[in-house]
Amino acid sequence: MTMPATFDDWLANSNAPEGVVEVLTVLGRTCAEISTVVAGGALTGVLGASGVVNVQDEEQKKLDLITNDMLTEALLACPVVAGVASEEMDTVQPGTNADGAWLVLFDPLDGSSNIDINAPVGTIFSILKSPNAAPTEAAFLQPGRDQLASGYVLYGAQTMMVLTTGQGVAGFTLAGDGTWRLTHDAIQIPADTKEFAINMSNRRHWAEGVQRYIDGCLAGVEGPRAKNFNMRWVAAMVADVHRVLMRGGVFLYPWDKREPNKPGKLRLMYEGNPMALLVEQAGGKATTDGVQRILDVEPTQLHQRIPIALGSANEIDQVAAA
């Protein structure tokens, strides 16, 4: 079997700006290294809590910190990177590169609660243009439609990188020789689905529209939708969104009334926006509530949260209509 094209070859044929190609190359190399670190698990002492609480008021796992440091160090050493921002760091980290022209935002290890049970986890990344070589936090607060590229790496049964530079969505599988190989080209999300992903234990806290939508799915063929649905919930956004990209579906993490001033659990800048760009590039819809496009949300804070309803376009319309 001839080996598929490499990530380097794919990048060389993409229309991405030269600097974005350079940043994506660093991300690919670093996430391949993260894959090895994550795989070490109990054998290398990387499991468990770090004892530190982050800006999200969440206890950081050892691997949250390890992967955050790996990405921050590698990206700030890249001459075209002007600065980085991470779920795991309170403030943005400006670089010292005089030629810095790109901003990189990331969730270094999404799905941290899955680490100690050997369930899937991932890295999510987003690339924006920097206004200058010494960016402040304000420079990062750009709407998702301005992203030059976004993607994720899923550390699962295979290690896969799925990304877009604005010309569709491509998927790469990490080969034994450490190269990323193009295994999924021009990924498209089916417009219809019979599968939803949501944390059902929160049902009593959702807004009534979301309750109506999910109850309609649960009613199955005897109910208003006249078809049976399946449910999945991996508790790692990267894994649930990957399934949506591979076979369709909808992923929801809605607002809930326990903390009415908190729009949702997931973060806009390094979870919602990068995933929304991927989903739209694959022909799906990515909204806050079935209606408002995530990519049009004007950010006001680096770590702001957002409700999310994304996936198969016709099913997202059903969420909006519920």
| Whole-angstrom distance, CA of residue 191 vs CA of residue 265 | 26
Residue 65 corresponds to which tokens in the numbers above? 């910190």
Q: Whose Cβ is closer to ligand AFP: residue 19's or residue 111's?
A: 111
Verify binding: residue 112, ligand AFP, rule CB under 6 A. Answer: yes
Collapsing DSSP to helix, strand or coil, 70 comes out as helix
Smallest distance from ligand AFP to CB 101, Å: 30
Binding region for ligand AFP (CB under 6 A) out of 75-83, 107-115, 185-193, 272-280? 107-115
Residue 46 corresponds to which tokens in the numbers above? 């990387």
Smallest distance from ligand AFP to CB 237, Å: 3
Smallest distance from ligand AFP to CB 67, Å: 12
List the x/- string, 195-214, binding to ligand AFP by CB under 6 A.
Answer: ----x---------------
Distance set, CA 160 to CA 131, 137, 272, 317 (Å): 32, 31, 19, 29
Smallest distance from ligand AFP to CB 108, Å: 10
88: closest CA among 66, 107, 114, 71? 107
| Whole-angstrom distance, CA of residue 266 vs CA of residue 263 | 9
Smallest distance from ligand AFP to CB 107, Å: 8
- Determine which residue in the list 110, 256, 280, 289 makes contact with ligand AFP, applying CB under 6 A: 110
Verify binding: residue 266, ligand AFP, rule CB under 6 A. Answer: yes
In this structure, what is the dihedral angle of CA atoms 288, 292, 294, 300, given to the nearest 10 degrees? Answer: -90
> With contact defined as beta carbons under 8 Å apart, do 163 and 181 qualify?
no
Interacting residues toward ligand AFP by CB under 6 A: 58, 110-113, 199, 235-237, 240, 253, 265-266
